[in-house]
Chain A
Amino acid sequence: MVRFFESIGRVVLRVFEQFGRFFQMLGLTAAWTVRPPYDVPELMRQMVRVGFDSIPVVVVTTLFTGMVLALQTFNGFARFHAENLVGSVVALSLTRELAPVLVALMVTGRVGSAMAAELGSMRVTEQIDALTSLGTEPVQYLIVPRVVAAIAMMPLLVVLGDAVGMYGGYLVAVQLLGANPVSYVDNSFQFLHVKEDVVSGLIKAAAFGLIFSLIACVRGYDTTGGAEGVGRSTTRAVVSGSLTVLVADFFLTKLLY
């Protein structure tokens, strides 16, 4: 029984420890973001890796999400003759919720894992120590460009995801289920408020970008224990990154609406 409570205590302590570490690194990263020198080429490289290179993943994810959303709602709504609302449901679900969250989860898997693995192997091969020894702050050189790139690129990926997902919904509704294209499009935009729905989705996206990239970077940065440690950090970056995105999604949604 004592052991049971001990293990609960340990888990709780670890969660708080990770929480503290996250905010400590958030403060450090923010401080080093505003201090010169600004490494613009490195930021551009990271933006390409986070943004441009993620386009295929985002397109496939949101296209099929939009399609299945249209399919499911059409079948469900047909039971109470509300097929004409499918466009609205697809548009609202995507912009407010599904595009930001799904894009964040996919990018966490794709980019977050890479960030953790890269920083982790730099840590275990003493490259991070070497950076410090050469008078370069590793937080500024390694973490700042990655986090800033993720914050900047996530909303753009979600805009793309919104558009592709809505197009997927349109394809299914019009081509497969025979909805009227004009009224479907009308209905899609009829209840969609740019500020309330789209912009709040983009704010969430930027927050998710901060969360997953910082968690991945800190996991990589704090790696210990050789190649095995790098593997562990990478797994943890994806798991805790994804979970934190999902938890934060609820609280952000509560705050924003």
Chain B
Amino acid sequence: MTAEPLPAADSASKLEAHDLHKSFGPKVVLDGVSFSVASGESLVIVGPSGTGKSVLLKHLIGLIPPDSGQVFVDGQDFWSLDSLAQRDVRKKFGMSFQEGALFDSMSVFDNVAFPLRRSGRRPAEVRDRVKECLDIVRLAGVEEKRPSELSGGMRRRVGFARAIAHEPEILLFDEPNTGLDPILTDVIDEVIMEIRERLSATIVTITHHMPSARKIGDRVALLFGGKILYEASPEEFLRSTDPAVKQFVEGKAQGPLTVEGQTAGRQRAEEGA
């Protein structure tokens, strides 16, 4: 089934995007994106590179304001809140960034401890929680290292540990396994599964790696040309006869998902605007 625009503030959903539009100059990136994620659900958003997946994720946590449309967190319209209330809503989130985005002036320990210390936890509590989080991401004994001394996969896992330290209700993963070898990719997927089990958090993951999407997602959505083109369970998604989905799953150059198609979508959007 293809995505239909959802009614505003569906009370059962934990996180909901409603008709998000965003352009950077003449470039239309989001052209009416709507979806919702139920509490405890894991949604994976896939799509070719450069379709604005990261931009979409940054809209969900309020790092980028939409041109129009709403983001609802627990039924609250994020952009209608004042900056202090927005900060409190953001505390429900944990986000892992593409390259980890670790604070390079701090050790691994201080990175993971950062959200805990900022919320005023006691030092002993912080120490225990940091150790616990590093255990979950299967990294031990790197506490005193600097981010620059770590490999890409390790940096990303430290980023996970930092994102889960304050026990968020919603987790966002931005391309968690892009640029990693197949084994590490699987390790990362397993870490995400474990995080999910331990935190019973709502998860939105962005990737273009289909095996990961299948493994960690309850639902997979295809983002292309600024819209969610298709949305289904991983099995349905893989079996789909929709030409765009098929092309993406099979990784073909020919099909509806083309650079030209993206441009056409943008032009249509411009005419509409």
Binding site for B on A (CB under 8 A): 37, 122, 125-127, 129-130, 132-137
Question: Which single residue of chain B is at the shortest CB-CB distance from A133?
Answer: B95
Tell whether B103 is near chain A: CB-to-CB under 8 Å.
yes
Q: Point out residues on B near A: beta carbons under 8 Å.
A: 58, 61-63, 83, 87-88, 90-91, 93-95, 97-99, 101-104, 114-115, 118-119, 159, 162-163, 166
Whether A134 and B114, one on each chain, are in contact in the complex, defined by CB atoms closer than 8 angstroms, is yes
Q: Please tell me if the beta carbons of A127 and B103 are within 8 angstroms of each other in the complex.
A: yes
Tell me the complex Cα distance, A127–B97, Å: 9
- Contact in complex: B93, A133 (CB < 8 Å): yes
Further pairs besides A127-B104, A134-B114, A136-B115: 19, Cβ < 8 Å? A37-B118, A122-B103, A126-B98, A129-B63, A129-B101, A130-B95, A130-B101, A130-B102, A130-B159, A130-B162, A133-B61, A133-B63, A133-B95, A134-B166, A135-B87, A135-B88, A135-B91, A135-B118, A135-B119
Q: Which residues of B contact A129 (CB under 8 A)?
A: 58, 63, 95, 97, 101
6 A-B pairs in the complex with CB atoms less than 8 angstroms apart: A127-B103, A130-B101, A132-B90, A134-B115, A135-B87, A136-B114
Question: In whole Å, how far is A164's beta carbon from the nearest beta carbon of chain B?
Answer: 32
Q: Across the interface, which residues of A come within 8 angstroms of B93, CB to CB?
A: 133
Residues from chain B with a CB closer than 8 A to the CB of A127 are 101-104
Q: How far is the CA of A127 from the CA of B100 in the complex (A)?
A: 9
Closest to A131 in B: B103
Which residues of chain A come closer than 8 Å to B101, judged between CB atoms? 125-127, 129-130
Q: How far is the CA of A130 from the CA of B105 in the complex (A)?
A: 14
Contacts of B98 in A (CB 8 A): 126
Give chain A nearest CB distance to B84 CB in angstroms.
8
Closest Cβ of chain B: how far from A88's Cβ, in Å? 48
Question: CA separation between A129 and B91, bound complex, in Å?
Answer: 13
Is the CB–CB distance between A126 and B118 below 8 Å?
no
